[in-house]
Amino acid sequence: MTTFVDISVPLRSGITSDPPGLRPEIEYLDHNDTVADMLAMFPGAGPEVLPDGEGWALEWIRLTTHCGTHLDAPYHYASTMDNGQRAITIDEVPLEWCFQPGVKLDFRALPDGYVATPDDVDAELARIGHTLSPLEIVIINTSAGTRYGEDDYLTRGCGMGRDATLHLLRQGIRVTGTDAWSWDAPFGYTARRFAETGDGSIIWEGHKAGRDIGYCHLEKLHNLEALPATGFRISCFPHKIHAASAGWTRAVAIIED
């Protein structure tokens, strides 16, 4: 038997899904709102000729490519990847990266704002008894996962540091993911560390690891608590947006019993 687990968030307006100014806006038009639009395509027709007098339902949406569950392309992190090569955009991401066995690392116990290290990765892999293989999709279950849309969502969860990210990439991983807003630690924690140290290398350090080794990651995943540590595949094909830095995806975990 095949079980499909939806690991995507619903795209909604009016909730704390992104920082102010970056949140999606959705205008819903129901079957009554659009009657005039439909009749305009049929000169001489009146509402009485439409079944139930209804037009179509549709939505106008204003959003960025990073709203909702999405896959970031290497171009999002920098203009170059693989130590100087042109960073690929979302329409250039190899499709084979986006349908692979998944591995879940449970980092829910790590504090909010914590920056995970290679040792954290290795300790969790040892706990679940798994050795990584190239192209597996590694997803991080954080404390942010159950807070999507709540006021504290943007400040919850640990992040993945540069060293931890490169540790995964050097083992052949090319797609990673998190149920938090960002692969990196919440910005407020990083801002405080930067104020204390003046060290600019900590800003977006997990993302910027893509300058060394190009990779993609999923953000705003959901329902990772429902997954085992291994034994599933992830499908996360991104919307094909020309030359874009990311694409929305209906990420799904597939478990074969």
Alpha carbon distance 211, 168 (integer Å): 14
Tokens 């939505």 correspond to 59
Domains and CATH numbers, the chain: 25-62 (no CATH), 70-256 (3.50.30.50)
At 172, phi and psi to the nearest 5? Answer: 90, 5
Tens place of pLDDT per residue across the chain (257 aa): 999 999 999 999 999 999 999 999 999 999 999 999 999 999 999 999 999 999 999 999 999 999 999 999 999 999 999 999 999 999 999 999 999 999 999 999 999 999 999 999 999 999 999 999 999 999 999 999 999 999 999 999 999 999 999 999 999 999 999 999 999 999 999 999 999 999 999 999 999 999 999 999 999 999 999 999 999 999 999 999 999 999 999 999 999 98
This prediction has a pTM of 0.96
Instruction: Write down the pLDDT at residue 7.
Output: 98
Instruction: Write down the pLDDT at residue 257.
Output: 83
Estimate to the nearest angstrom the gap between the alpha carbon of 89 and the chain centroid.
15
At 248, phi and psi to the nearest 5? Answer: -65, 150
Tokens 């874009």 correspond to 244
